[in-house]
């Protein structure tokens, strides 16, 4: 468990506190490395993680694996689930890991005199056997890793908004190269009165 304690210290520094979901994230990352026979934290970009919720769990996974949004080795799939799929990009083998349905109950049994359920989870998740803490299954991806990773240096310009599009995320509509927000409506709507600068 030496490695676990090192990662716990890193998570504490990153997050300014330690919580049960960070521990779940760290242990999920370490378990994935064991199942995929990879060394962690990675120093290259071989491991790619699909994380199914943001927040503390994601930070725990990132600390353990070295997969980060900024390194383009982590992707948020916002399902609202404490779960992640870990992909070996060389073999394309993928493992999905999530908390055991009885993990919270087992934590209370493991640390019966804890100050609260939260404190029981905080302590127990560090020492519980993997078989009681996490579930794992091999999965087949319905997305192309090659398309997600893309090629370095690929840039296009949207014919409508003029903004740069990276990583082959452009869409061709009626022969025009468009960004996804111009093509599909995006997640925001421009308020003209708030525009401080217009592009040529």
DSSP 8-state symbol, 129: -
Instruction: State how far Cα 57 lies from the chain centre.
Output: 8
Half-sphere exposure (Cβ direction) of 15: Cα atoms closer than 13 Å: 23
Q: What is the pTM of this model?
A: 0.83
pLDDT at residue 4, rounded to an integer? 80
Q: Report all structural domains of the chain as residue ranges with CATH numbers, in order of start.
A: 2-147 (3.30.1330.130), 150-194 (no CATH)
Going residue by residue through the chain (200 aa), what tens digit of pLDDT does each one get?
447 878 778 777 777 778 999 999 999 999 999 999 998 878 889 999 999 999 999 999 999 999 999 889 999 999 999 999 999 999 999 999 999 999 999 999 999 999 999 999 999 999 999 999 999 999 999 988 888 887 777 899 999 999 999 988 898 999 999 999 999 888 887 777 555 665 55
Concatenating the DSSP letter of every residue in 50-81 gives EESS-SHHHHHHHHHH---GGGT-EEE---S-
pLDDT at residue 93, rounded to an integer? 96
CA neighbor of 27 nearest in space, from 53, 51, 63, 54: 63
pLDDT at residue 13, rounded to an integer? 77
pLDDT at residue 8, rounded to an integer? 79
pLDDT at residue 1, rounded to an integer? 43
pLDDT at residue 2, rounded to an integer? 46
pLDDT at residue 83, rounded to an integer? 98
Asked if residues 59 and 25 have their Cβ atoms less than 8 Å apart, the reply is yes
Tell me whether residue 180 is exposed, middle or buried, using C-beta atoms within 10 angstroms of its C-beta: 0 to 12, 13 to 18, 19 or more: middle
In angstroms, rounded to a whole number, what is the distance separating the alpha carbons of residues 30 and 7? 10
């Amino acid at each position: 468990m030496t490695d676990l304690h090192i990662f716990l210290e890193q998570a504490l520094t990153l997050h300014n506190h330690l919580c049960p979901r960070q521990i779940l994230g760290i242990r999920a990352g370490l378990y994935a490395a064991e199942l995929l026979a990879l060394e962690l934290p990675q120093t290259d970009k071989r491991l790619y993680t699909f994380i199914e919720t943001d927040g503390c769990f994601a930070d725990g996974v990132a600390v353990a694996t070295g997969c980060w949004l900024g390194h383009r080795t982590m992707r948020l799939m916002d399902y609202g689930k404490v779960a992640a799929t870990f992909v070996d990009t060389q073999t394309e083998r993928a493992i999905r890991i999530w908390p055991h349905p009885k993990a919270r109950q087992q934590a209370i049994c493991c640390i019966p005199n804890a100050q609260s359920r939260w404190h029981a989870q905080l302590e127990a998740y560090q020492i519980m056997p993997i078989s009681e803490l996490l579930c794992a299954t091999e999965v087949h991806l319905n997305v192309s890793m090659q398309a997600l990773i893309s090629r370095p240096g690929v840039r296009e310009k949207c014919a409508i908004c003029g903004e740069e599009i990276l990583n082959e995320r452009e869409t061709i509509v009626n022969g025009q190269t468009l960004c996804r927000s111009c093509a599909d409506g995006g997640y925001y709507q421009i308020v003209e009165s708030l525009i401080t600068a217009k592009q040529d």
